[in-house]
Amino acid sequence: MRICEARTVIITGAGAGLGRAYALAFAAEGANVVVNDIRLDAAEAVAAEVRAAGGHALANSGDICSIEGAQAIVDAALAAFGEVHVLVNNAGILRDRMFLSLTEDDWDAVMRVHLRGHFCLANVLGRRWRDAAKAGQKVDARIINTSSGAGLQGSIGQSNYVAAKGGIAALTLVQAAELGRYGITVNCLAPAARTAMTEAGMPDMVKKPESGFDVWDPMNVAAIVVWLGSPLSARVSGRCFEAKGGEISVAEGWRTGKIRDKRARWEPAELSQVVEELISEGIPPQKVYGS
């Protein structure tokens, strides 16, 4: 049996790249797919691919960055398929520059699409699912957010993107803690694949090979996303998965390290040795990409 039979999923930024791969993979596992993309023609093309393969899809170009737009997307999904069970927050943009060269517009545009875009649909659907749970209905819902290796470890020349993606990883923790009581799980993904963004930033690295396993194919990442959207993942929440090619891992985030307790107030001059010892005893952080 297909693992997402009769479930409905909204996927943002689904007109190409990873979003397109997710749409095709969810449909192959029986899901109804709402293909959301700011470019309606791209959304329609992916929806047509899904239908040509025997699946069910709705193309949608609604605004993910406003509550009004998010509600309209959800309403369209409900009209077409009756219910929504899964949200995949995938849409994103880049405005890459070294930190001191960033403009306010570079910063605000990235925050709007990534952070506000992750907020609006999750808020609208979360309230719907909460109300259903309080009314005694069984809810088995999923929110799948998109962070990035850049958001987890940092990346030179991408401080706005890094800040947004790091915020999404932290947001996932709080959403999972707050929404679990209503039958909603929340996880995030840090994917590595060939997309318009990675082709622009590192074209030689992500280039499709002439033969052999295509490590950067977006379809490689789709399996974990579909699993997270299925009933099989009901016991997993508040986690960040990294996926690339045939690799999959669960990120280990910030946690309290070794402690020195003087049981009194520290003098500033005392702290040099203490900090040096704490750093030497801890696990070294991964290097920032590009450093």
- CB atoms inside a 10 Å sphere around CB 112: 15
- Name the catalytic one among 22, 147, 148, 155: 148
- Name the catalytic one among 22, 165, 230, 237: 165
- Name the catalytic one among 147, 155, 159, 161: 161
- CB atoms inside a 10 Å sphere around CB 144: 25
Catalytic annotation present for 161: yes
Catalytic annotation present for 155: no
Catalytic annotation present for 230: no
Which residues belong to the active site?
Answer: 148, 161, 165
